[in-house]
């Protein structure tokens, strides 16, 4: 095998002094080149989520007559995210609502804060149901969140907001890079997404039930990003002045089945490519019993935890505040109490 490989490499056409191989290693001509060995690593994103399936799920949820019944999580998080937009004391000429859904953030955006709001959503029915407040110029764009930058020019947006949509993106690092490109200098990116501890009760109950009934487990709950990873991805994309925090919303349900029904109504059911298409009845009943046994509330019912990660990131700009040079401080931190009391100025 070594002889065959050696013969194959020597037969490759030379490009200058060096020839490439199928091993992704730079191969040099013997005794003629001193190039360093370089490996070509691939960082192509892995498609975890089926975006077509997620679009169908959102369409089905939006077409329900009682669609408003299932908005309680997204409406609450959208209100909290919009409140963070109001904390920034500036007016944004152009803003993008990435993954608008049914307008859970846009319905709280005021004309005093945003002049022109561009709503980007891949579900046409949900996009048609999204509304904003009077005085805000609205442009609706039916586009997948993964390819939204194709319809928006570089450095043309002052604010990008996204409410509970980014956890379905396959290439999250690439999405952050595309958001960075469309922002103007000193533009801000605000978003909320579900974190890794979301629905841990349901995940545990289904795994234990399948281990007992089937002898193995299947990915019934989609994977979520952890808060420790978000900061690194934002720094890698070039953002600065990061603010990342997390919040937990615990909702009570009578049983596990009401929780699963509501997740379907929110269009938050599983859309991973490797999701199982069938869940046996005995496994469901066992999971419901395990869920109730492990997490039952004293007053009845079961809790479901939704971990929400909030992030605020800025695109670098020369006029942004910068830290002073290291060692230029005049007061020690141990004297901070004296500064507060006014003894040291």
Q: Decide if 170 is inside a domain.
A: yes
Distance CA 80, CA 83 (A): 5
Q: Decide if 82 is inside a domain.
A: yes
Q: How many domains does the chain have?
A: 1
The answer to whether 331 and 344 have CB atoms below 8 angstroms apart is: yes
The pLDDT assigned to 16 comes to 36
The pLDDT assigned to 345 comes to 66
Q: Decide if 14 is inside a domain.
A: no
Q: Decide if 341 is inside a domain.
A: no
The pLDDT assigned to 45 comes to 61
Residues 79-132 have pLDDT tens digits of 999 999 999 988 999 999 999 999 999 999 999 999 999 999 999 999 999 999
The pLDDT assigned to 333 comes to 80
Angle between helices 256-265 and 200-213 (to 10 degrees): 120
Average pLDDT of the residues of the chain = 85
Distance CA 180, CA 33 (A): 41
Q: Decide if 158 is inside a domain.
A: yes
Residues 330-342 have pLDDT tens digits of 888 888 888 888 8
Residues 16-73 have pLDDT tens digits of 333 333 333 333 444 444 443 333 333 456 789 999 999 999 999 999 999 999 999 9
**What pTM did the predictor assign?**
0.80
Residues 133-182 have pLDDT tens digits of 999 999 999 999 999 988 899 999 999 999 999 999 999 999 999 999 99
The pLDDT assigned to 44 comes to 56
The pLDDT assigned to 324 comes to 78
The pLDDT assigned to 109 comes to 93
The pLDDT assigned to 151 comes to 85
Q: Decide if 59 is inside a domain.
A: yes
Largest Cα–Cα distance in the chain? 81
| Containing structural domain, residue 106 | 51-196+221-254+306-315
Residues 284-341 have pLDDT tens digits of 999 999 999 999 998 889 999 999 999 999 999 988 887 778 878 788 888 888 888 8
Q: Decide if 94 is inside a domain.
A: yes
b/e for 242-251, b at 16 or more Cβ within 10 A? eeeeeeeeee
Residue 6 has pLDDT above 70, yes or no: no
The pLDDT assigned to 37 comes to 38
Q: Decide if 172 is inside a domain.
A: yes
Residue 75, domain CATH: 3.40.50.150
Distance CA 155, CA 174 (A): 17
The pLDDT assigned to 274 comes to 87
């Amino acid at each position: 095998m070594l002889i065959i490989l050696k013969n194959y490499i020597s037969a490759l056409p030379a490009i200058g002094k060096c020839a490439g191989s199928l091993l992704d290693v730079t191969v040099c001509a013997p005794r003629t080149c001193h190039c360093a060995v370089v490996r070509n690593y691939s960082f192509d994103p892995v498609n975890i989520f089926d975006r077509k399936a997620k679009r169908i799920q959102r369409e089905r949820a939006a077409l329900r007559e009682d669609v408003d019944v299932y908005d309680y999580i997204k409406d609450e998080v959208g209100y909290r995210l919009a409140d963070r937009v109001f904390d920034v004391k500036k007016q944004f000429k152009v803003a993008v609502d990435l993954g608008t859904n049914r307008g859970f953030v846009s319905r709280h955006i005021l004309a005093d804060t945003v002049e022109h709001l561009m709503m980007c959503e891949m579900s046409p029915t949900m996009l048609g149901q999204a509304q904003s407040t009077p005085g805000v110029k609205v442009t609706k764009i039916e586009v997948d969140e993964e390819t939204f930058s194709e319809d928006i020019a570089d450095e043309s947006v002052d604010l990008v907001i996204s409410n509970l949509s980014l956890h379905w993106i396959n290439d999250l690092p690439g999405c952050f890079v595309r958001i960075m490109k469309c922002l103007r200098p000193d533009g801000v990116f605000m978003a909320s997404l579900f974190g890794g501890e979301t629905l841990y009760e349901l995940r545990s109950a289904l795994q234990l039930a399948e281990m007992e009934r089937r002898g193995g487990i299947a990915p019934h709950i989609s994977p979520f990003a952890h808060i420790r990873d978000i900061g690194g991805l934002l720094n890698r994309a070039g953002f600065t002045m990061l603010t990342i925090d997390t919040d937990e919303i615990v909702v009570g349900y009578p049983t596990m089945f009401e929780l699963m029904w509501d997740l379907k109504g929110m269009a938050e059911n599983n859309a991973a490519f490797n999701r199982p298409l069938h869940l046996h009845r005995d496994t469901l009943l066992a999971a419901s019993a395990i869920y109730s046994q492990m997490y039952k509330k004293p007053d009845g019912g079961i809790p479901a935890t939704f971990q929400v990660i909030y992030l605020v990131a800025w695109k670098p700009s020369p006029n942004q505040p910068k830290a002073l040079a290291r060692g230029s401080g005049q007061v020690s931190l141990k004297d901070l109490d004296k500064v507060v009391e006014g003894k040291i100025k």
